[in-house]
Structure 1
């Protein structure tokens, strides 16, 4: 019986790369994203590569939406074996200074990178623990390791997510359920962020150089994180 990968926050960068990599191993893919049209388009692309997939539109910044979409995926595919939370914010949502950071600027980053991962975990972990098998994967950036004031609000949210995943992994030890996070210090090929920065290079402060990596390469790193399970965090594109 095929296993199911659910990607929460499926996009053209990390989502596509991860779906293709797991799909090659026989995983069905639940494409979860805010836009129904985009989700259906991603499903069609995966189908063209022989990967079974289905679209599940949802706003992942709303707790009831996360709970609903989990029920819908389970109803369609039976169970979720691996969940990857890859939802990311827009460059327009960033707050470029820690000194002037307002609490309100944390609303979107916290909803995307802390609250939503917690809701996903609460919806999926009990069944995984009962089965004694499963994986909860998360995505992060460079700022939990390196201060990046031009991404002030997301840096705060990602640091909080890092603490959550570390504590989650410690509590899941011995249950058969794995929790891990990919810390991504690169621009992902074909991602929305890459397109925005290419069109508006002024968004990156002078002197800051960001390496690039294809979405396929990032998908491979997620596969290695998932299969090896020898670390809670895997850093890509920068030195930890």
Structure 2
């Protein structure tokens, strides 16, 4: 059995995606800061017969994040799919002219250094398997920067550039790097942006391995 590792596990999209990959036969490793929060999520998945474990780590702590992914692979099996989709903090979204250089440190650590740390942790295992999928989920400011959300706009753009390079460099090794842009809110009643619809879309990105950037819905003008 191989493992689906979700960095930024939550009760909405994260849980729906974990359930989708778990029902497809993958072990599920959930990574978030709160052990109590992880216990609730893993209990929910186990009630559906999914092999799930939680591993506590903050994406701003490279050592803890690396250890969590390594522990997940040892406990559940090699990580075949990595999804990086933690929710940015509200203080990352200051207006542009109120944003200092120091204000960009955590957003860049969150959206660029975190992904680099994760990829470096899982890539050796994917190479040993001979295949793998790296999925990154971002909001619309990744492709259309918003001056009222400067930190995430800058950090998501950096993450996008990194993932695009991964897509190009790793394709020859049968490791697929892809990005899903969710332009608006995730809503339970949305046809394309409900947690369940997005989970199906993310599974399809893994299964179909088609292209770099995808959109949950068309970007508004």
Query: Per the shorter chain, which TM-score range?
Result: over 0.9
3-state SS of the aligned residue for 1:227?
A: helix
Counterpart residue number, 1:166:
164
TM-score normalized by the length of structure 2: 0.93
TM-score normalized by the length of structure 1: 0.86
The within-5 A match list for 1:199-214 is 213-214=193-194
The within-5 A match list for 1:37-116 is 37-95=36-94, 97-116=95-114
What is the rounded CA distance, in whole Å, between the counterparts of 2:87 and 2:110 in structure 1? 7
Query: Is 1:23 matched up with 2:8?
Result: no
What is the rounded CA distance, in whole Å, between the counterparts of 1:212 and 1:228 in structure 2? 18
What is the rounded CA distance, in whole Å, between the counterparts of 1:4 and 1:126 in structure 2? 14
The within-5 A match list for 1:82-231 is 82-95=81-94, 97-189=95-187, 213-231=193-211
3-state SS of the aligned residue for 1:126?
A: helix
Which runs of 5 or more residues in structure 2 are unaligned? none
User: How far did 1:60 drift?
Assistant: 1.5
3-state SS of the aligned residue for 2:97?
A: coil
3-state SS of the aligned residue for 2:106?
A: helix
Asked whether the equivalents of residues 88 and 113 of structure 1 are also in contact (C-alpha less than 8 Å), the reply is no
| Segment drifting more, 99-108 vs 112-121 | 99-108
User: How far did 1:30 drift?
Assistant: 0.5
User: How far did 1:26 drift?
Assistant: 1.4
3-state SS of the aligned residue for 1:102?
A: coil
3-state SS of the aligned residue for 2:173?
A: coil
What is the rounded CA distance, in whole Å, between the counterparts of 2:5 and 2:47 in structure 1? 19
Which runs of 5 or more residues in structure 1 are unaligned? 191-209
Deviations 1:146-165 (A, max 9, x none): 23112111000000000000
Across the two proteins, how many residue pairs are aligned to each other?
Answer: 219
Deviations 1:36-79 (A, max 9, x none): 00001000011122211011111121110111112211220121
What is the rounded CA distance, in whole Å, between the counterparts of 1:212 and 1:100 in structure 2? 34
What is the rounded CA distance, in whole Å, between the counterparts of 1:213 and 1:167 in structure 2? 27
Counterpart residue number, 1:235:
215
User: How far did 1:212 drift?
Assistant: 8.0
Asked whether the equivalents of residues 138 and 182 of structure 1 are also in contact (C-alpha less than 8 Å), the reply is yes
Cα pair distance change 1:51/1:189, threshold 3 Å:
farther
Cα pair distance change 1:78/1:144, threshold 3 Å:
closer
